[in-house]
Amino acid sequence: MNKKNIFLGLSDYIAEEFGLSYSMQYKIGINVVLLLLILLLWKILRRQFDRRFKGTKKHYLLIKTVDWGFLILGLFLLGILWNEAVDAFVRFFELVGNYLQSKIILSLLIIGMILLLRRILLGIISDRITDIKKHYYWSRTIGYGTTILGIIIIGSVWIKGIQSIATFFGLVSAGLAIALHDPIANFAGWLFIIWRQPFHVGDRIQIGEFQGDVIDIRVFQFTVLEIGNWVDSDQSTGRIIDIPNGKVLREGLANYTKGFEYIWHEIPVLVTFESDWKKAKEILTKIVNEKVEHLTPDATKQLQSAARKYLILFHHLTPIVYTTVKSSGVLLTIRFMTKPRQRRGTDEMIWEAILDAFQKEPDIDLAYPTTRFYDNRKEGKPFTKRAESDIL
């Protein structure tokens, strides 16, 4: 007996015992081969990215793109034959039970396989990923992915007449959109957060009247550890705030750390009109350069990286002191770059240095709101003194 007859005999046996047509067997074989090729290509690409980009931010983005891309492609191939596979499985179980029992058994098997897959994947990331932030992301992704996959597969088993996943989603979403507007909007917001990634866990953000550090992202809400409010300089208040995901679709979002981990910060220093403001400006420039100029090279490097994705046009990142005049004196504004979470500490360090330096200078005084009487004959400029004495 040659190999061709062996395969034909095996195909006939499968067709008779399991109800799988020849075309069905052929499609399954083709898809199995394609899935194996996809897994092989996925493994090759991951190895190449590990060799060329490991240790860079680009490496994480590339790996994530490849993983999600090949996962979607694999699910697509599996979905092509799913409807026919379900019918064949049901026909097989009709030999030992009725139609309802076959669907119950099939659903339980699917749930068991999904839970097993989830357990295996979580075990893999627990062994290989030590970074807490990455471990959190992958745990969440696996949990959501396997849950959605299970709902789609079991839904296609129980809903008769549904011939495609797209139709299934269309019917479900049409019915729920009216009755569950807010939950649907929050779910859409979650998809937007996962897909567009306006922020990640650990980022410092402001949305509407809320601002804080993101500590959790769920299907219907994300959680921030609040900063600001009654506490100065963006320090933590200790409150945990749950924000509906739909809010990201309706309000503007500010991210303190996305792409570029530095922000501009200013410290206004007001000196009296009688002070030597030029000397004060020199002192402030020296202090700010000593305290924060070492951050400029790192900020410049990050800016160059961020400029590849965003149109950021900062030309000078070095600290600077600006001069202007206010009603109570000469305002010298220190402007420099700092990390958001170091703003208050940097403020304190610079102000202490300013107070120490000004204390040593007899001709520099800090200004504050006061009421004073001005005698032009004694305090005015020589020309105005002479003019006033001629009038008198």
Out of 244-253, 350-359, 382-391, which region has the weakest mean confidence (pLDDT)? 382-391
CATH of 263-359, one of 3.40.1440.10, 2.60.40.1120, 1.10.10.10, 3.30.70.100: 3.30.70.100
Mean pLDDT of the chain: 75
pLDDT in tens, 211-226: 899 988 888 889 999 9
Q: So what's the pLDDT on residue 354?
A: 93
Distance (Å) of CA 134 to CA 13, 64, 128, 143, 200:
48, 11, 11, 14, 10
User: Per the structure block, which two tokens stand in for 136?
Assistant: 């959190």
Report the share of the chain in percent with pLDDT over 90: 15
Q: So what's the pLDDT on residue 39?
A: 74
Rounded to a whole number, what is the distance in angstroms from the first to the last CA of the chain?
A: 134
- Residues 339 and 357: their CA atoms lie apart, in Å, by 25
- Residues 134 and 24: their CA atoms lie apart, in Å, by 41
Alpha-helical (H) ranges within the chain are: 3-18, 22-53, 57-80, 82-94, 99-128, 132-158, 165-179, 181-196, 247-250, 277-292, 296-306, 343-359, 376-379, 382-391
Q: So what's the pLDDT on residue 116?
A: 78
Output DSSP code: residue 253: E
Is residue 96 predicted with pLDDT exceeding 60?
no
pLDDT in tens, 348-386: 999 999 999 999 989 999 988 777 676 766 666 666 555
**pLDDT band (50, 70, 90) for residue 152:** confident
Residue 26 exposure: Cα atoms within 13 Å on the Cβ side: 4
pLDDT in tens, 319-329: 889 999 988 88
Q: Where are the domains of the chain?
A: 3-177, 196-255, 263-359
- Residues 300 and 88: their CA atoms lie apart, in Å, by 62
Q: Which amino acid would we find at residue 346? A: T
Q: Which long-range contacts (CB under 8 A, 24 or more apart) does 97-104 make?
A: 103/157, 103/158
Query: Based on the number of CB atoms within 10 Å of its own CB, is 225 exposed (0-12), middle (13-18) or buried (19 or more)?
Result: middle
Topology (CATH) of 196-255: SH3 type barrels. (2.30.30)
- Residues 234 and 254: their CA atoms lie apart, in Å, by 14
pTM: 0.53
